[in-house]
Structure 1
Amino acid sequence: MLPSDICDLGPTAMPGDERRSSPRASCHWAAIVRLNDGTSCDAVVVDASKGGMRVVCEAAVDRGDRVSVELRNIGNYACEVRWRAQGRFGVRFENSPGELSSFEADAIAECIVPDLPLALLD
Structure 2
Amino acid sequence: MTGVETRSVMRDSLFLLAGIRVEQGADVHRVRVRNLSDGGMMAEGNLAVKRGHRVEVELRNIGCIAGSVAWVQDNRFGIAFDEEVDSQQARRPLQADELAPATILKPSWAHRAPSPPDAAKLRKV
Is this a same-fold pair by TM over 0.5? yes
After the TM superposition, which segments of 4 or more aligned residues of structure 1 sit over 3 Å from their partners? Answer: 111-114
Counterpart in the other structure of 2:81 = 93
- Give the conservation status (yes or no) of the 8 Å contact 2:53–2:69: yes
Q: Partners in 2 of 1:113 and 1:85 — Cα distance?
A: 30
Counterpart in the other structure of 1:84 = 72
TM-score, with structure 1 as normaliser? 0.64
Bigger relative contact order, structure 1 or 2 (CA pairs below 8 A, ≥6 apart):
1
Q: CA RMSD in A?
A: 2.2
Instruction: State the aligned residue count.
Output: 91
Counterpart in the other structure of 2:88 = 106
TM-score, with structure 2 as normaliser? 0.63
- The answer to whether structure 1 residue 25 and structure 2 residue 7 are counterparts is no
Cα displacement (A) at 1:91: 0.4
Which segments of 5 or more consecutive residues in structure 1 lack a partner in the other structure? 1-12, 115-122
Which segments of 5 or more consecutive residues in structure 2 lack a partner in the other structure? 95-125
Aligned residue for 1:22, secondary structure, equals coil
Aligned residue for 1:107, secondary structure, equals helix
Larger Rg over CA atoms: 2
Residue of structure 1 aligned with 2:22, choices 2, 12, 35: 35
Q: Partners in 1 of 2:93 and 2:79 — Cα distance?
A: 19
* Offset from partner CA, 1:47-94 (integer Å, 9 cap, x none): 011110000121111001100111133311101100011111000001
Q: Percent identity?
A: 34
Q: Partners in 1 of 2:77 and 2:21 — Cα distance?
A: 14
Q: Partners in 1 of 2:87 and 2:76 — Cα distance?
A: 23
